[in-house]
Amino acid sequence: MEVLEASSLVLPAPLADMVSCDECDEPHIERVLFLESADAPGRPFIPCPANGRVFLELKQLRRWRCDCRAVAERLAVALETGMTPREAVAGRCWSLGSARLSNSARPASLIRGACWPDAGARFEAKLVGGSDAILFLLASEAPRWMVPGSWIPLVQTLRIVKDRVHFDFSAITSGRSAPAGAGDPYALRRRGSLWQLAYERQAEVIPHRVGLLYLAQLLQYPGRAVPALELVALARGNAFIDKVAETDVADLTSTAGYETAELLDEEALVEYQRRIAELNAKKSNVGLTANEETEIQALHDQLAQALGIRGKPRKMPGSAERARSNVWHALERAYHAIEQPLPRMAQYLRNSIDRGSTFTYRPHEPISWSIDVSGSS
């Protein structure tokens, strides 16, 4: 982001007040709180239902906003349109001029908010060139109102070389984004924050999901029962895991990981109660800051989740059961992401993957998949 900021393509924005918890296998969004201290600046943290306070660095809260006008100007120069971008829809759409890609000259536009609810009504009548236009999107996926094949996620063209930003259009043919897995009828390939999919030679691009990493591993080993813990380890390492030894498989699939434990141990429970008492005392005397009001509410919420109706600690599943649940839900989200552009692929995967304490890809007929999780373009 520093390179993009130095190139004036993004600008600093206010610090994030909601962030994703990276301590959990499946990230979830929580509100940022600050632990007040008399002798130090407030330390940011999020209240995680599974891990308690997860402390953050201030740099994790940094945010940027895209300078769309600057991006449009740089894009027009890279496309050699010879035109200063014109704002066709205020703050949302910039006409870039005529772009010649692969010997085909077509009008090009930069679109912001293509997936917003009002996008179809706002843009369809305003786009120069109509259905023949090339649409560069600040989003990573296109909504249904767009003509299939006419849109290109800007992130696919962005390159950083020696701390300088460039636009690379070499992957674009005939003014359209290159097909995912071109030449491969069945493909699952990661490209940065996107995945290129192909099923029965129909190609699409969708945003990254953790479940796609799980699918990539399962499709590599038809018939093999893969433990959920192994799939979770894969996602954390973001690389393929070689087949583990039989003794390791036994460890990963044993019932030892399915035991339960208390959501809050005794020490954490005492600390939560002490902090609530401390904040209540301050509230009675001098009142609480807005951050402290939010913190005490979060602490009460944590205790409500961790304690049963009789005040006894609730139990949480063991590591193997948590992994099984996380993988199960991650696959569901991946199927849902695939379903809109490639419904036959989503249905095939649902029917071909057994889900239990282990996960197994059992195709009715053998399919040769082209798999790549390296993330390189």
Query: Cα–Cα distance between 259 and 319 in angstroms, integer?
Result: 8
What are the backbone angles phi and psi of residue 70, rounded to the nearest 5°?
-65, -40
Give yes or no: residues 234 and 360 share one domain: yes
Give yes or no: residues 197 and 148 share one domain: no
Give yes or no: residues 230 and 348 share one domain: yes
Q: DSSP string spanning 139-205?
A: SSS--TTSPTT-EEEGGGTEEEETTEEEE--TTEETTEEPPTTTT-SSEEEEETTEEEEEETTEEEE
Task: Check residue 238 and give its pLDDT.
Answer: 42
pLDDT at 27 over 80: no
For residue 95, tell me if it sits in a domain.
Answer: yes
Give yes or no: residues 101 and 168 share one domain: yes
Q: pLDDT, tens digit, for every residue of 83-129?
A: 999 998 888 889 998 887 766 788 888 888 887 878 877 876 666 55
For residue 232, tell me if it sits in a domain.
Answer: yes
CATH of residue 330's domain is 1.10.10
Give yes or no: residues 51 and 102 share one domain: no
Give yes or no: residues 340 and 247 share one domain: yes
Selection from 227, 252, 250, 231 nearest residue 240 by Cα: 231
Question: pTM of the prediction?
Answer: 0.49
What's the domain count of the chain? 3
136, 108 contact by CB (below 8 A): yes
Of the pLDDT bands very low, low, confident and very high (cuts 50, 70, 90), residue 243 is very low
225, 359 contact by CB (below 8 A): yes
**The token pair that represents 294 in the structure block:** 């939010």
Q: pLDDT, tens digit, for every residue of 306-364?
A: 676 566 665 555 566 777 888 888 899 999 999 988 999 999 999 999 987 789 999 98
Last residue of a domain, one of 126, 155, 177: 177
For residue 236, tell me if it sits in a domain.
Answer: yes
For residue 191, tell me if it sits in a domain.
Answer: yes
For residue 277, tell me if it sits in a domain.
Answer: no
Give yes or no: residues 194 and 240 share one domain: yes
Q: pLDDT, tens digit, for every residue of 32-84?
A: 998 877 666 788 999 888 778 888 888 888 888 889 999 999 999 988 899 99
194, 140 contact by CB (below 8 A): yes
Q: Which domain holds residue 61?
A: 2-65
For residue 284, tell me if it sits in a domain.
Answer: no
Query: Cα–Cα distance between 231 and 315 in angstroms, integer?
Result: 24
**The token pair that represents 203 in the structure block:** 């190609």
What are the backbone angles phi and psi of residue 96, rounded to the nearest 5°?
-100, -15
